[in-house]
Amino acid sequence: MASPDENKRESLPFEPRQKKKKNPPKKPNSTPQPQAKTPRNPKSEASLSAIPDAVSKRMIRRMAILCGIPTSLGVVSLLAFYWIVSQKILVIPPYAAVLVSSGFFGLGVLGLSYGLFSASWDEERIGNLLGFDEFKLNFSRTTAAWRSARSQKE
């Protein structure tokens, strides 16, 4: 019997599904019997693959901070360069403004990805402030899921 921690670990989102043994096909009976359709509950199936509310809020909060700050700095840097050039305080080449603002926007994209992976995907565990341990764990889970999907495809 699995411990409660192992059961909880099996229900984490984004985990690769374990391969199940296929049962050999059954021999058909001589008299075909009508198959009774069992009603499927799409809500119960969706809840198994859905991200828990606490986890999604944690992800959104981290992504907003780690993406919002650099993106805001990218917009502010464009405005600051415009103001500096229009007031003739400094002569700044246009490519400098593009490089600085593009750098901030690039950091925003990286912050978006890091915010997603650095949040704890366990509903009960919050994780630490920077999320290095969670990043390693979640990134390894994701790469394992990619490998599993690729091997099933082949």
Tell me how far apart the alpha carbons of residues 36 and 57 are, in angstroms, rounded to a whole number.
41
Q: Has residue 97 got a pLDDT over 90?
A: yes
DSSP string computed for 33-74: -PPPPPPP-HHHHHHHHSPPHHHHHHHHHHHHHHHHHHHHHH
Name the pLDDT band for 51 (thresholds 50, 70, 90): confident
- Asked if pLDDT for residue 36 goes beyond 60, the answer is no
Indicate the average pLDDT of the chain. Answer: 80
Stretch 100-119: mean pLDDT: 94
What is the distance in angstroms between the CA of the first residue and the CA of the last residue of the chain? 33
State both tokens at 154: 């082949």
